[in-house]
Structure 1
Amino acid sequence: MLPRPLLLCLQGLLLGRFTQACPPPCQCYDGTKVFCSGEEIWDIPEGLPGNATQLFFVETSLTTIGSGPFSNHSSLARLVFLNNPSLSLEAGAFGEWPRLTELEVSGSNLSALSGEAFGSLLELRKLSLTFSALRALEPGLFNRMPGLEALHLQGNQIEALPPKIFSPLRELRVLDLSHNPMAQVPDRLFDPLARLQVLKLSNISLARLPLGTFRLLRRLQELSLDRNALADLPPGAFSGLTHLRRLQLQHNALTSLRPYIFSCLPSLDFLNLEGNRLSALPAGLLRGTPKLSQLFAASNRLETIPEGIFSNLFQLQTIVLSHNRLTHLPAGAFRDLSSLTTLQLDHNNLTALAGDTFHNLTSLEVLDLTGNRLQTLPEGIFDFNDYLFGVAMKDNPWVCDCRLASLASWIRNWSAPLNSQTFCASPDHLKGWALPALPQEQLVCLAAPGQADSSLSPGEAETGRSPCTYSDPEGTVQLTCDAAACHRLTVHLPPQRALTGQGPAYDSDWVLNSSCGRVKVSVAIRAEPGVTAREEEALSHNRRSEP
């Protein structure tokens, strides 16, 4: 059934202003377009304009179309029945109309068609018998439609097709058999359709492809095999399809692919492998598809991708590898992809990325790393991606220390809104901090006892002072010193009690350790006479940042 808003929109487009009286409850526009709708319509109304070129019957109570109601409409070019659930067609219902080019019957309970239902429609170009209850098609049903170019049969209950049902349709360009419980197609069913450009076999419960099913479809440009039960593609399944541009194989049961299954598709632009059971992709899988621009392989079981699988795909713009099991990417995984704008690696098991992983992607605009196991990223990993404006990184266990300083700065400058929900997982005192809001001075590295101490930040490392960072076991107090002096003290205090003006508001001692030795730090915060609580808070903040 078509949605009610769509029907109202269609009615509005057809009607505009009324220029001629029509038999109620129909409405006419310019005397050539007629729109009839309403449950009170049980038969074709009398008095319809004889020069009408388009007739629409929408959501009526029409039951039977016999052989006579349109005998006086020799100018009719388009006849449409939408959502008329009780409709049935008698033999010769549509007679011999010299000008009829489009006929549609959709959304009815029509379960069978007489072989004579369509008479002789020599000029018919488009026939739609969709979303009804058709269970079978009689042999010879299309014998008197030699000029048919588009045949839509999707959304019925067709379980089998006569082997030569399409033999008369030598001019057919579009064939849609989707959403029928066919399970199989007869051998050589499509052989007569040498001019076919679009073939849709989505969701027909197809479990296997007979060898050579498409071998004579030399002009085919789009093939949809998605949402079936295909577990294997036979050798040469797509041989000869040199003009094929779109291939849809998503949501099947494929566990593997033959190395050169797509090698005969030099015009392929769009390939969808989503929702299968692929654990690996052969290294040479895409070598015969130089024009590929969009590749979708999400929701499989891939643990890695072969090195060089994308080599020489200079027109590739989109790669989607989301919801797999990727643990690592080989060196140079994305080399030669100078046109790539979108790369989705989200919801995998990636734990680390090489610093040059994205350096060749000079056109990259969108990168999704959400839902992996990344703790940090190498400094400068995005230095060669001048057009990169969106990097999604939430749901990773980010370790917010000095190694993340460069990335945090990049996020604040270029991708903060997209990462407002990107949080630190450690250390404990920063857990839950949103990365874009994290102050740069918080990103420090603490030295473990007995190890050489790391610098407080990349900036201090460049000064050559080789500072030591002293810390308590909880990481709540950090003191950074070099050979000449101590330069920074950071203290994370618990919630402060109300200030009374008498006695210390906070007073505590710590023993801090580092590889350089041990130091004792005492901090006391007192309310000064005449200082308000707000001013004392400001003073307390200053004391936390001064040695």
Structure 2
Amino acid sequence: MMSPRALLPCLQGLLLLLGSFAQACPPPCQCYDGTKVFCSGEEIWGIPEGLPGNATQLFFVETSLTAVGSGAFGNCSSLARLVFLNNPGLALEAGAFGERSSLAELEVSGSNLSALSSAAFGSLLELRNLFLTFSALRALEPGLFNRTPSLEALHLQGNQIETLPPTVFSPLRELRVLDLSHNPLAPVPDRLFDPLALLQVLKLSNISLTRLPLGIFRPLRSLKELSLDRNALADLPPGAFSGLSRLQRLELQHNALTSLRSCIFSCLSNLDVLNLEGNRLSALPAGLLRGTPKLGQLFAASNRLETIPEGIFSNLLQLQTIVLSHNQLTHLPAGAFRDLFNLTTLQLDHNNLTTLAGDTFHNLLSLEVLGLAGNRLQALPEGIFDSNDYLFGVALKDNPWVCDCRLASLAGWIRNWSAPLNSQTFCTSPDHLKGWALPALPQEQLVCLAAPGPADSSLSPGEAETARAPCTYNDPEGTVQLACDTAACHRLTVHLPPQGDSTGRGLAYNRNWVLNSSCGMVRVWVTIRAEPGGTAREEEAGSHNPCSEP
């Protein structure tokens, strides 16, 4: 949220663009286009005399204004917008705005104003927008809005309001926007919002809510946006959102929710955005989203989810974004994202995924961005992205990639389509490739030195590949490699120097090495000597169990 002080440079720049030169104004104010007046400076202690009578917008920014008394703007009959920004000592006396029926917008932000009299606004019958923000208001008097019946937007965020009179909003039958965020409000009176039948936006972020009164939102049948984020809600009562059939956006992030009833969102037939991020959810009910067919964006990051129910997205044909980052997902059910033809963004990063089925993303024909970073993936099935023609951003870093033949297809895809994003995606094994960045890895390095044994039919393809992944033992020069798995050592590769023996009869060779890997150490010796007829005899032997710990 941007503070009033942060807005000051933008406001000054805007005013400078509005007029080509300053017209006559009471110093130290500046006038633009004859209708916009900007007054700033600590030397301003009161409302300057001689303000242009045809001014429509008037700004007081970082002044020493104290009391604004009755009739202070009596000369400004055309005034439509009045802004007080960062005037710490400001106080509004009864009748401060007189009978200014032309005033449509009033803002008082960044002051030490702690209370307002019910007579402070006079009779502002045409007032549409009222901002009383980032100040020190502690309470609102009953009847404060009795003489502002045309209000459409009321912003009270960033104050110290602790209580609200149950009928304080009763006169505001035209209100469309109400922002009570960032106040220590809880609890909220049960029937506080009953008169606001036309309300479209309600923001209750960070107001210390621990519970929702039963049916508190039911009268708000025009509501399109509801923000309940950054509170302490541990539960949502049955029917919490009953009657909100027009709701399009629901913000529930950063609460203390541990579970959700399967029907809690069933009446939200027009919901487009649902944010559940930063709660304590360990599971999502299978039918949670059946009543939200128009859902376009789902955010459920930073929870404790271990999996997602099969078919939870099955009716969401308009879904474009799914964010499941920073959970504890260990696996995804078969067809988890089936038929999501409009999905463009899928974030699965920072979970505990070890394998993915080859068809996990095959139906995601519109997918553009995929996050898989920070999991436990060692390899991905060949061709896993073959159906994703629009996929350009795949984040794969911080996984324990095994850079052998099983990663060849993925490494080639990264080089062609997603190299910059994966410049920090590294091999963790085999040892001689550890630390190599996948986009820079030569394709010829991606080989399997051990012949895979028979697959265990009880394992999934990904698990079987992981089980037979070899340990590769190397000499420091990299001229000798010995590949072993948990059962046996399968293949020895030796790069011999191009030389013959001293007799000239053919190649003769005799040498031994100590090879090391993260699995342990093995000693190998090789003797090759020429035999009559031009054939060669090869002998090799090793000591030390290659599968033991060092």
TM-score, with length taken from structure 1: 0.84
Alignment correspondent of 1:401: 404
Change (3 A) 1:347 1:521: farther
For residues 365 and 470 of structure 1, the distance between their equivalents in structure 2, rounded to whole angstroms, comes to 36
> Is residue 107 from structure 1 mapped to residue 126 from structure 2 by the alignment?
no
Alignment correspondent of 2:208: 205
2:214–2:240 contact (8 Å) kept in structure 1: yes
> Is residue 243 from structure 1 mapped to residue 224 from structure 2 by the alignment?
no
Q: Following superposition of structure 1 onto structure 2, how do residues 417-428 of structure 1 map, counting pairs within 5 Å?
A: 417-428=420-431
Q: Following superposition of structure 1 onto structure 2, how do residues 231-380 of structure 1 map, counting pairs within 5 Å?
A: 231-380=234-383
1:334–1:361 contact (8 Å) kept in structure 2: yes
Among 117, 120, 133, which residue is 1:130 paired with?
Answer: 133
| Matched residue type, 2:12 | Q
For residues 185 and 90 of structure 1, the distance between their equivalents in structure 2, rounded to whole angstroms, comes to 29
For residues 93 and 442 of structure 2, the distance between their equivalents in structure 1, rounded to whole angstroms, comes to 78
SS at match of 2:147: coil
| Matched residue type, 1:289 | T
For residues 184 and 340 of structure 1, the distance between their equivalents in structure 2, rounded to whole angstroms, comes to 39
For residues 328 and 405 of structure 1, the distance between their equivalents in structure 2, rounded to whole angstroms, comes to 23
Q: Following superposition of structure 1 onto structure 2, how do residues 181-196 of structure 1 map, counting pairs within 5 Å?
A: 181-196=184-199
Q: Deviations over 1:150-188 (max 9, x none)?
A: 000000000010000000000000000000001211011
Change (3 A) 1:138 1:42: same
SS at match of 1:281: coil
Q: CA RMSD in A?
A: 2.7
2:278–2:301 contact (8 Å) kept in structure 1: yes
1:217: Cα distance to partner? 0.5
SS at match of 2:356: coil
For residues 153 and 178 of structure 2, the distance between their equivalents in structure 1, rounded to whole angstroms, comes to 6
1:94: Cα distance to partner? 0.9
| Matched residue type, 2:267 | C
For residues 454 and 143 of structure 2, the distance between their equivalents in structure 1, rounded to whole angstroms, comes to 86
Change (3 A) 1:510 1:193: same
Change (3 A) 1:72 1:351: same
SS at match of 2:206: coil
1:2–1:82 contact (8 Å) kept in structure 2: no
For residues 409 and 8 of structure 1, the distance between their equivalents in structure 2, rounded to whole angstroms, comes to 49
1:352: Cα distance to partner? 0.4
For residues 23 and 339 of structure 2, the distance between their equivalents in structure 1, rounded to whole angstroms, comes to 64
1:10: Cα distance to partner? 1.3
Gapped regions of structure 2 (runs ≥ 5): 456-469, 484-491, 498-508, 516-523, 530-550
Change (3 A) 1:472 1:278: closer
1:20: Cα distance to partner? 2.2
Q: Following superposition of structure 1 onto structure 2, how do residues 451-462 of structure 1 map, counting pairs within 5 Å?
A: 451=453
Alignment correspondent of 1:84: 87
Q: Deviations over 1:239-263 (max 9, x none)?
A: 1111111100000000000001111
**Percent identity over paired residues:** 83
2:4–2:110 contact (8 Å) kept in structure 1: no
For residues 138 and 101 of structure 1, the distance between their equivalents in structure 2, rounded to whole angstroms, comes to 22
Change (3 A) 1:422 1:492: farther
Change (3 A) 1:476 1:325: farther
Alignment correspondent of 1:496: none
| Matched residue type, 1:145 | T
1:296: Cα distance to partner? 0.4
> Is residue 224 from structure 1 mapped to residue 222 from structure 2 by the alignment?
no
1:81: Cα distance to partner? 0.3
Q: Deviations over 1:112-144 (max 9, x none)?
A: 001100011110000110000000000000001
2:35–2:56 contact (8 Å) kept in structure 1: yes
Alignment correspondent of 1:484: none
Alignment correspondent of 2:46: 43
Alignment correspondent of 2:536: none
| Matched residue type, 2:180 | L
| Matched residue type, 1:6 | L
Change (3 A) 1:260 1:226: same
Q: Following superposition of structure 1 onto structure 2, how do residues 167-182 of structure 1 map, counting pairs within 5 Å?
A: 167-182=170-185
| Matched residue type, 1:296 | F
For residues 346 and 437 of structure 1, the distance between their equivalents in structure 2, rounded to whole angstroms, comes to 23
Alignment correspondent of 1:97: 100
> Is residue 10 from structure 1 mapped to residue 11 from structure 2 by the alignment?
yes
For residues 109 and 511 of structure 1, the distance between their equivalents in structure 2, rounded to whole angstroms, comes to 77
Among 66, 69, 73, which residue is 1:70 paired with?
Answer: 73
For residues 31 and 125 of structure 2, the distance between their equivalents in structure 1, rounded to whole angstroms, comes to 27
Q: Deviations over 1:202-257 (max 9, x none)?
A: 00000000000100101100000000000000001111111111100000000000
1:3: Cα distance to partner? 5.8
1:9: Cα distance to partner? 2.9
For residues 489 and 116 of structure 1, the distance between their equivalents in structure 2, rounded to whole angstroms, comes to 92
> Is residue 447 from structure 1 mapped to residue 456 from structure 2 by the alignment?
no
1:157–1:180 contact (8 Å) kept in structure 2: yes
SS at match of 1:129: strand
1:17: Cα distance to partner? 2.3
SS at match of 1:408: helix
For residues 426 and 357 of structure 1, the distance between their equivalents in structure 2, rounded to whole angstroms, comes to 25
2:345–2:369 contact (8 Å) kept in structure 1: yes
Change (3 A) 1:191 1:281: same
Change (3 A) 1:476 1:401: farther
For residues 140 and 379 of structure 2, the distance between their equivalents in structure 1, rounded to whole angstroms, comes to 61
1:31: Cα distance to partner? 1.6
1:76–1:100 contact (8 Å) kept in structure 2: yes
1:92–1:119 contact (8 Å) kept in structure 2: yes
SS at match of 1:271: strand
Change (3 A) 1:447 1:189: same
1:55: Cα distance to partner? 0.8
SS at match of 1:363: coil
2:4–2:86 contact (8 Å) kept in structure 1: no
SS at match of 1:8: helix
1:489: Cα distance to partner? 6.0
1:274–1:299 contact (8 Å) kept in structure 2: yes
1:369: Cα distance to partner? 0.5
| Matched residue type, 2:381 | P
1:511–1:521 contact (8 Å) kept in structure 2: no
1:476: Cα distance to partner? 5.4
Change (3 A) 1:441 1:113: same
Q: Deviations over 1:242-285 (max 9, x none)?
A: 11111000000000000011110011001100000000000001
1:280–1:305 contact (8 Å) kept in structure 2: yes
1:472: Cα distance to partner? 6.1
| Matched residue type, 1:28 | C
| Matched residue type, 1:9 | C
For residues 147 and 436 of structure 1, the distance between their equivalents in structure 2, rounded to whole angstroms, comes to 62
Alignment correspondent of 2:504: none
For residues 426 and 233 of structure 2, the distance between their equivalents in structure 1, rounded to whole angstroms, comes to 42
For residues 149 and 521 of structure 1, the distance between their equivalents in structure 2, rounded to whole angstroms, comes to 92
1:242–1:266 contact (8 Å) kept in structure 2: yes
Q: Deviations over 1:461-513 (max 9, x none)?
A: xxxxxxxx998676852599xxxxxxx967599xxxxxxxxxxxx9955699x
> Is residue 433 from structure 1 mapped to residue 443 from structure 2 by the alignment?
no
